[in-house]
Structure 1
């Protein structure tokens, strides 16, 4: 996100240089999103387009590439969002492989967004969360997860492709270096390459080689968050909804003042604030608490 890149420039500019090196290698694709990692799509689509455009611009300025692949914040997605992305000129969108959307179908194929020609890549959340959440879970029946074991799982997974997606901080924060997560990710390419029928691909490479097999119709908004995989991680309780409505109410004033006032307002559209205010219990509540640096949702 743009706000992540801002923090890199303030605290550790070398991170930006490392991203430049990887981007220049051709081994990765930089994917566009909202500059403020925000819930702008739930405010209005003019603001949503502005924030995605701002992120596109900073990626071009810093890394010299124009993103053609896009994801919305936290994989938030519906038919209208897909249509907006297509109108912005994107060639592929990434989102969550939600069962209530796919039904009997598998996330391991390319689909087309309803009413558009936009290809959709859907995350395989089971295989993604094996790394993202379960890697250090000693009570998990598959612990410890090795690169060799994971490569075999990928090989035995039916479909045309497998989208593995997780938070950047998986590698070193969610799972500390002492857990072996860095050794795992270093070893994984070699183990995957042992299987001649598998190869790594960027989103744009995938849609250039494979055709959509069906259409996905997402009328009710989905995301990759919590068990519900909807908007409840950010707008699930009255406190979250009230704060978000206040931010929406302030939009005309912020835009009339512009400058630093508009910038400050846009920071308040960042999804993290609402995530910290979640009062869910159980496993989802534990995840929300783990991500938050506050002592409680009210704080």
Structure 2
């Protein structure tokens, strides 16, 4: 059994603030995410907003887990067949592209971690469908969060929905516990069997962030040591929220005025 921290009321309040700020960065950047902009420019704008407007710190900047080189930018920008950890740079977004912006801020020591998909201009219906199904997957996972349920219930709900739609679930990357530490126990797998893994208890906080591929689930790492792509070059999508286990269910901590609403089938 992994040691999973139970957050105190004070820590939960700190995580609420950080989560809302993380979501507000995505609100702020939304009008800039369009054809013609570079991923580097989106990074610059987000970085300045975090530091100058929010007084928050971009968690990815210089983040360096064992065996990695420090991540060089403030946000992750994953375009088309990039699954995750795309490094912002000279890439220009064009009509028909899809991009995930993954934002984590640190405020007063607490991490607020979330991501959204952005569809650029006129995208093909199959592109929008992948993003929509992935969004539903995330929310179906969130809907499993309540005391007494198990972490395997989250993965099972996500996997069922993705595979029924003809998609595959990335196995190598998962959600994670979060607080004053960016990545901590537990790991939140986006596949699995119901009734397995750790039991959820009030005060746990973790991310749910399914990465869903239109093709096969296999991945390949790029030479930069960070960027992860689909091996078959199919499109990939991801959505992410940070979630608190409450006494009766869940509270999504990464919500703000511009957050897309939950799907109609979610009743909290």
TM-score, normalised on structure 1? Answer: 0.29
Higher alpha-carbon Rg = 1
Query: Which structure features the higher share of helix residues?
Result: 1
Q: Which has the higher strand share?
A: 2
Which protein has greater RCO, CA pairs closer than 8 Å, 6+ apart? 2
